[in-house]
Structures are given as structure tokens and as C-alpha cells.
Structure 1
Amino acid sequence: MDLIAGIDRKLGQLAEQSLTRKLRVADSACAPRQVVDGRPMLAFCSNDYLGLAAHPQVVEALREGASRYGAGSGASHLVSGHSRAHALLEERLAGWMAPHLEQPRALYLCTGYMANLAVLTAFGADADAMIFSEALNHASLIDGARLAKAGVSVYPHGEVAALERQLADSRAATKIVVTDSVFSMDGNLAPLPELLALCERHGAWLVVDDAHGFGVLGENGRGALEHFGLRSPNLVYMGTLGKAAGVGGAFIAAHASVIELLVQRARPYIYTTAAPPALAHALQASLDIIAGPEGAERRAHLGALVAQLRDALRLRDWRLMASNTAIQPVVIGANEDALRVAAALHEQGLWVPAIRPPTVAPGTARLRVTLSAAHTFDEVARLARALNELEKTAP
């Protein structure tokens, strides 16, 4: 019982700092209008940016995939779990990224977290390598850098000049710059053109985690590289397929030799059971939508919702962060204040999460509002009214 008492003390400390997290149970499909813990809610917390998670075409493709390939893969990719569905998806994703990468090949993995671990541990497997990591990178990139044998140098958020000094001073045999494209808690974009120019000048790799850009950014929804019009053999691209694509998993796209290195050396890929082939099959339907007229319409509607929310909010003490993406954070400040506002919204049937340290810096607890193409203008107006009123009455 002494062991349990020690755990309970740690849990008590989290509660005292207003850092306790709470699981909520969704009783219905991922959508803006959900039943959560048995209660109807209007959700502004999903990363389902295009509203494809419950799209009938994608759901039917998942059913068809399960009927054709079964419920599971049965083994890791390199044993017997690599199905035709996986292979076809990887071929298509490689084709998607062909305008931006030299001799591209793609690799499908179970999650974005796993994909980032795979890239950084394989590239940083040698002690004479150096990883240059953006200060606001996602936890999966931070953990991948920690697990690698390479050294790690963190550069300040968005500070290209600081990164240039670090690259110039480094004598590492392999240099790896890694960054989010869209920062998940701030919603702003990394200066990818400037970062790529630095990497090409210093002979470094640029690993881009486009978790919140794939499907949303770019004329055809192909992500941050399309948005900025980038192309280079120095690029290693990671896109998640459980956010805007609405299903699950992630992919890495790069030069074919890079992908072969991952197949041979990336432990998170080699030593795990492959994702169910049905997911890969369903993702073909997601890509059809993203690339087609409906995808363009959904991206345009999402952009209009972002503009509406930013125009409708009239905040004095709270701070709406500078973001033109679907991620619209409202910084409250103290942990307990952010929790109080989230609870007040919840009472009104609005589901908006309070994000606190260590996910964000101390003193910057916030509401992480995320918009979806499945939201309506009336729903966004309802959220804006609620936030404006809550700030007026805040102590």
C-alpha cells in the first residue's frame, strides 16, 4: 500500500495545481454534434478538420475494406502483415508528394507519434548526428529526439537566425532539423521556406511534421509543402491520416532511399503489428474527397468559419492567438481560470478543452478551439457569443 500511497500523493499534487486531466466518453460518431457522457454537445475540440471521420463514403469504404481484408493484419509489415491495401495507399501517397520530393516513396505507420519516433530514431541512430528541434515541437518529436543517440539542440520558436547560428557552429556528420508545420497549440505556421533554404545551405535534412496541415493546407489539400510551393531532396515529410483525412495512421514520404533506411532501421515500424488493412482501404476514399471538388469546398468553408470566429470575438483580457488555421487558441492565463471557463462552456453544451502545462508554458493555459468544415456558421456564432459573454463576467 505504500506504493499506492506514493501514486496518490502525485495525483494529489496534480489536482492542487489544476493539472488533472479527465476522460470523457463519446457515445456517437466523431462530429460537431455529439453525445458525450450521455449528453448532447456541440464539440469544438476535434482534429477532424474536414469532417470526414463520419463521412458516408469513408464509412462505406471502411466496411468494404473489412469485408475484403478482415479485421486485423495479423503481424508486423516485415513478417506477414503488409497487405495490398497498405501497398496501394503507399503508392498513392508517394504520387501525391511527387511534386515536392525527389524520387518519392511513402511508408504507412499506425500513428503519427510512431512515425515521428521512427524517423528521428533511425536518422539519429549515430552519435555523430545532431537533431535541431523547434522549441514548440509536438511531444512525439521531442520524445523521438530523446530516444535517438544523436545530440539535440533546441532553437527558439520561429527564430531562423538562431537556427542558422546553431547549424553553422555544428560539426555533426548528419544534421537533422525537425519542426511542426502547424503548431498544434498555437495554430501558427513554421517558416518552412526559410528553414528549407538553411538546410540546403548547410547540408541538413528538414523533417516536417504536417499533422495539422495535411488535407487542409494547399490548393489540393496536399499540405504545407504545397502551401509554400516547396520541393527538395532534403525534405522528409510526415502527414497524419487521423485528423483531416478522418481515419487513422500516418505516413512518411521522402526519397526512396530514405524510406528504405526506415524499413531497415526504424524500430517503431519493424517491431509492431501493422495497422488493419481496412483503414488503409478507407483512406483511399478520404484521399478521393480531399483531392476532389468536395474537398475544395470543405476547405473553403473551413476558411470562412475561421474568418467568422476571428471577426466575432471581442476579447479584452483573454488573447486570441494569431492563427489563420483551424486551430484558434484563446489564452486565458492561470490553470484554474482556464478550467473554470471550459466548465462554464460545458454547462452550455459547448465542448472546448482547457489546455494546461506541460502541454503549454506555465501561465498560458488556454482554450484550444478547433473548427471543422462540418460546423455551421450558426454554431460558430453560438460559440463566439458564449466566449464574449464569459469574458465580460470573468472575475
Structure 2
Amino acid sequence: MTYSVDAFPGRTISVDGKSYLYFGGTSYLGLQTDAVFQDIYIKNLKNYGTNYGASRKANVQISVFEEAEKYLANLVGSESCITMSSGYLAGQLVARSLNSDVYELFYAPESHSAVHIPGMEPYQSFDDLSTAISSHFNKSKKVPVAFMDSILVLEGGYPHFAGLRRLPLEKIILVIDDSHGIGIVGENGCGAYERAKQLNAKEVIVCCSLGKGYGIQAGGIFGSKNRIEQFKNTDFFGGASPASPAAIATLLNGKKVFEEKRKLLNQNIQWFVKSLKNPELLNYLDNYPAFYFSNPKIASFLEKNDVLITNFNYPNEDSPLMSRIVLSAVHTREDITVLAELLNAL
């Protein structure tokens, strides 16, 4: 069922006058409704304006973009970084740039549509992916590029990337979509880049949305200096408007807020897991705020008890149902206790 609301969904939402606890969405740190974070954003809006519609290649350039990109590259441990106006655009820049006669593209299970080229479907398992890439080496000299999401419902992703370890990674370029990892996992929210680098692949490129972990409308791409320069020199990058400079500046100014919110989120995760009597109902990663399940009765039961979660066909109506419980930094211990007690009653 679809619900229409007229305000950003925080820890609670109101639908037709009825209040629900809300454990869905992707606002892991709850930044969008945080007063301190909003004040930082508003201050930057007054300085940079509400939008910047010029190319990053224009003869007048706003310096905050390069400043933020250096900060982000240092945070994740990459040589270089560029930002885009969205994570989807960042993923498409990477995918389209690599869709050439030099490379052969392969998609791991659960890879996001942001990095998909139309007509190319993800493999159903990492075994199938491994078989396809092994077969590729017997008939082609193209460099294989494996696309995958860092955070997976199935095993195989962050932090160990076990699904990739059977591949001859030294011959493969890895493209990791870290939209649900950056800002949340790793030291200081550094995301999956350093872990992926430890796989010793031929090359590692990470693309992501900055909206999930950092509450701003922007995307990022991380990689070697040479690769990032190649992306910068495309018509795709030069022809697109950048992210709002006010949003990018807020990324720089909000470091203390991010740190505080990650601590609160981690406390909420630990309390929830500790409170569950039947954790086998859910699939989840350690220290990660999303909890997945496939039993449709869970979502119905929670809704009847005034709790709404993420529960819809994603990314389109023909896709499987995505059902997940999402904790955020804005949830109170009482909220989480209510949720856990409902799940314990199943």
C-alpha cells in the first residue's frame, strides 16, 4: 500500500490523521530534520544560492567543489574524487564511460540500476558471475569490469566481499556502488573503498549517492587520479550541472554533526539487536541499520500495530518486493523497544 505524506518522514509519520512509528527510508543519520544540520545548510544557501546551473568546466568556478572532493578522497582513502548532482548520475557516468570496446561489463546479483547499461542484466548468483567471467577470459581480451553494491541482502558484499574472492581479481576492474555504505560504515563513515582496495583488484572505482549517509543531494566517484581525470573530461560530466554548492559546503561544515549522529545510530542498532528474541527472522549485517526479511506477514503485522517500514517492489513494479526495517539516529530507545517487542510477539 502506498501512503502520501506532506512532510519529510522522520521517526513518526502522520497518514490521514493517524500517527505511525516509521522504520523505513534511507535517512540513516536523520540529518534532513536535524535543526543543527538545517542551520548549517541554510547558512550555506544564503552564501551560495539555491542552485548553480553552470558547468563545472565553466570559466568561473566555485572553489568549494574541489575542496570537498579533496576531503572526500582523503576520507575514503582514494587518490581522487569528483562529485555529481546525484548518485544515479555518478553511477551512469562510470557505467557509460566503461561501456566501450576496451571493456566487458558484468553485473553481480543485487547490483543497482544506477550502474546498469540498458539490456544488461545482473547474474542471479556470484557462482554464475564467476562462471561468466572465467568463460570470458577464454574468448576475449577485453578487460572485465564487475559491478556490485557494497551492501547486500545476500552474503557476498561488505565487509569481506566473499562473493568476489573466487575471481581472478588482479585481472578485473571492480566498480562498487557504495550508496548505502559511505557515511555509515567504516572508520568515520569512510565507506567500503579501503576494504575493496584490500582485494587487490586490477582497479577499484567506487560511486555513490551522498544523500543516504550525508543528507545532501549529491553523488560521488572515487578512484585513481588518471581514472577520475578521464571521467572529468567526458561530455557527460562537463554537460551536467553540478550538485548544489550549498549542499557540498554543508558536507564540509557538518563533520561534527555526522560524528554525533553515527554514535547515536550505533547505539540504536546495538539496543535493537540486544532486544530481539528471534533475530533469525531478519537478515542483517553487524553494526548496520537495515534489517531485511521476506515474510510478508511481518510487514502486515507491524502495520496493524501502527508501525510502517520500507515495503514495496523495487526498482520497478515487476521487481521483487523489498521489505526492510531501517533504524535511524533519530529513533528513541522507546521507539526501538516498541518495534522489538512487536517482532518478539511473532
Q: TM-score, normalised by structure 1?
A: 0.75
Tell me how far apart the structure 2 counterparts of residues 360 and 158 of structure 1 sit (CA, whole Å): 25
1:39-98 CA-to-partner distances (Å, cap 9, x unmatched) read 433111121112222233321211111111111102232236852222221121122133
Structure 1 Cα separation of the partners of residues 215 and 118 of structure 2: 30
Does residue 114 of structure 1 match 2:89? yes
Query: CA 1:224–1:349 in structure 2 vs 1: closer, same or farther (change >3 Å)?
Result: same
Please tell me whether residue 355 in structure 1 is matched to residue 312 in structure 2. Answer: yes
Counterparts of 2:5 and 2:328, CA distance in 1:
20
Aligned-pair CA distance for 1:351? 1.7
After TM superposition, list the pairs within 5 Å mapping 1:107-186 onto structure 2. 107-124=82-99, 126-142=100-116, 145-146=117-118, 154-159=122-127, 161-162=130-131, 165-166=134-135, 168-169=137-138, 171-183=140-152
CA deviation string 1:196-232 (max 9, x = no partner): 7846421x21111111111221132101234567376
CA root-mean-square deviation:
3.2
Shift of 1:179: 0.5
322, 326, 345: which one pairs with 2:302?
345
Deviation of the 1:182 alpha carbon: 0.1
Equivalent position SS for 1:312: coil
8 Å Cα contact 1:177-1:199 kept in structure 2: no
Q: Aligned partners of 2:142, 2:148: CA distance in 1, in Å?
A: 20
- Give unmatched runs, 5+ long, in structure 2: none
Supply the AA of the counterpart residue of 1:24: S
Contact 2:150-2:177 within 8 A present in 1 as well: yes
Contact 2:299 2:311 in 1 (8 A): yes
Indicate the residue corresponding to 2:52 in structure 1. Answer: 73
Size of the alignment, in residue pairs?
Answer: 342
Alignment equivalent of 2:65, drawn from 81, 86, 94 = 86
SS of the aligned residue for 2:212 comes to coil
Instruction: Name the CA distance, whole Å, in 2 between partners of 1:227 and 1:312.
Output: 32
- Indicate how the Cα distance of structure 1 residues 200 and 331 shifts in structure 2: closer, same or farther if over 3 A, else same: closer
CA contact (8 A) 1:321 1:328 kept: yes
Map of 1:379 onto structure 2: 335
Q: 1:385 to 1:177 in 2, by over 3 A?
A: same
* 1:96 lines up with 2:70 in the alignment: no
- Does residue 329 in structure 1 map to residue 292 in structure 2? yes
Residues 314, 322 of structure 2: 8 Å contact kept: no
Whether the 8 Å contact between 2:64 and 2:245 is mirrored in structure 1 is yes
2:220 — aligned with what?
A: 251
Q: 1:156 to 1:369 in 2, by over 3 A?
A: same
Equivalent-residue separation in structure 2 for 1:24 and 1:161 (angstroms): 43
Give the AA of the match of 2:187. Answer: E
Matched, 1:312 2:280: no
Percent of aligned pairs sharing the same letter: 20
CA distance in 1, matches of 2:156, 2:104: 26
Whole-angstrom distance in 2 between the partners of 1:45 and 1:187: 22
Aligned to 2:243: 275
* 1:195 equivalent among 158, 161, 164: 164
Q: 1:304 to 1:241 in 2, by over 3 A?
A: same
Which amino acid letter does the alignment assign opposite residue 78 of structure 1? K
Task: Note the alpha carbon deviations across 1:278-337, whole angstroms, 9 max, x for none.
Answer: 1111111344444x4x2552353143045236x33477xxx42254332211212xxxxx
Counterparts in 2 of 1:97 and 1:367: CA distance versus 1, 3 Å: closer
Q: Does the residue aligned with 2:111 lie in a helix, a strand or coil?
A: coil
The alignment status of 1:22 with 2:13, answered yes or no, reads no
Secondary structure of the residue aligned to 1:243 is helix
Distance 1:187 1:33 in 2: 31
For residue 321 of structure 1, what is the amino acid of its counterpart? N
Is this contact kept in 2: 1:130–1:153, CA < 8 A? no
Q: 2:179 aligns with which of 211, 214, 217?
A: 211
- Does structure 1 retain, via aligned residues, the 8 Å contact 2:28–2:328? yes
TM-score (norm 2): 0.84
Match of 2:30 in 1: 51
- Shift of the alpha carbon at 1:153? 7.3
Deviation at 1:136, TM superposition (A): 1.3
Aligned counterpart, 1:17: none
Give the direction of change, closer, same or farther, for the CA distance of 1:217–1:77 in structure 2 (3 Å limit): same
- Cα pair distance change 1:68/1:314, threshold 3 Å: closer
Q: Is the 8 A contact 1:217 1:223 kept in 2?
A: yes
Q: CA deviation at 1:245?
A: 1.3
Decide which structure has the larger Cα Rg and report it: 1
Matched-pair contact (CA < 8 Å) for 1:52–1:286: no
